[in-house]
Structure 1
Amino acid sequence: MPLTPKIKTSITKSVLCWLATTDGDGQPNVSPKEIFTFWGDDQLIIANIASPQTVKNIRQQPMVAVSFIDILVQKGYQLKGKARIVDKGDTDFAELAAPLEVMTDGKFPFATLTLIKIEQVKPIIAPRYLLYPETTEEQQIRAAREQYGVG
């Protein structure tokens, strides 16, 4: 499923994403990721910096979900799809790693990458927007800044 410019713009506003996996027995795991980017219009690359459980789970069960949210606007997207672990020895590793290495200035080593083929996209929206439809993003940002003590 292609990621629209609107979805890509929203995702780039996220500082972290949350990658959900399950192991072969169905045990869930959610792990924060800070180094990620798009690959074309329907794939996402995530650097595996310190995520042995994530890597192990994807090798057993490749279906994943990734959530992105702008914490002040409290809107974002959940992406679901099939993941593949790309090892350092794989022929496409260097090409896929290049944009992530630029993002990290080479300061975070990663031996594997997660490449996700996006199959589903759904919006994430704070309940306030649903319960109080007149809520604007500006109001939500002000309320979030007050609630979380962000200047």
Structure 2
Amino acid sequence: MMQLKEEIKVAIGDCVLCWFATSSADNIPNVSPKEIFCFFEGYIIIANIASPQTVKNIRANKNVCLSFIDILKQKGFQLKGIAEIIEKPSKDFSRMEKVLLHLTEGNFPFTTITKITITSSKPIIAPKYLLYPHTTEQEQIDSAKKSYGF
């Protein structure tokens, strides 16, 4: 298991949505948005709220990819790893469930949890940071707010 840097843990906590990629046994890709996820005891955990295809794919192919960005800073991370479906009878389920229920405020029921062991990570950054290296996060935030009409 790869240790996540503190900046990745913070970024996960700051993001409200991630994109979770799975693949079927026949290598058919599937990407779906997830909003109930967090860092937990060295893993990333996700509440499976309305995710039948995601769960089916993980049971057939455990290789996954999770991407998330701060839409204003336009920075984030891509994490790859091995996923496992945690069911209610598991001894780990109730500990994970407590954390995820706090995030859902009890509004979204779920019966399984995806637990991801991260094997690699890389940053995601907007091209502007590369093309104009003196761009600051605040400049990018101001530009994004203008673009999004905030």
TM-score by length of 1: 0.95
Distance 1:66 1:91 in 2: 25
- Tell me which amino acid in the other structure corresponds to 2:110: F
Alignment partner of 2:101: what SS?
A: helix
Distance 2:91 2:75 in 1: 37
Distance 1:29 1:143 in 2: 31
Alignment of 1:1-151 (within 5 A): 1-41=2-42, 43-150=43-150
Distance 2:84 2:74 in 1: 29
Aligned residue pairs, count: 149
Question: Which stretches of structure 1, 4 residues or more, deviate above 4 A after TM superposition?
Answer: none
- Tell me which amino acid in the other structure corresponds to 1:112: T
Distance 1:45 1:10 in 2: 15
Which stretches in structure 2 are left out of the alignment for 5+ residues?
Answer: none
- Tell me which amino acid in the other structure corresponds to 2:47: A
Structure 1 residues 26-65: Cα deviation after superposition (integer angstroms, max 9, x where no partner): 1111111111111223x11000000100000000000000
Which stretches in structure 1 are left out of the alignment for 5+ residues?
Answer: none
Structure 1 residues 93-123: Cα deviation after superposition (integer angstroms, max 9, x where no partner): 1122110012222221001100000110110
Alignment partner of 2:146: what SS?
A: helix
Percentage identity across aligned positions?
57
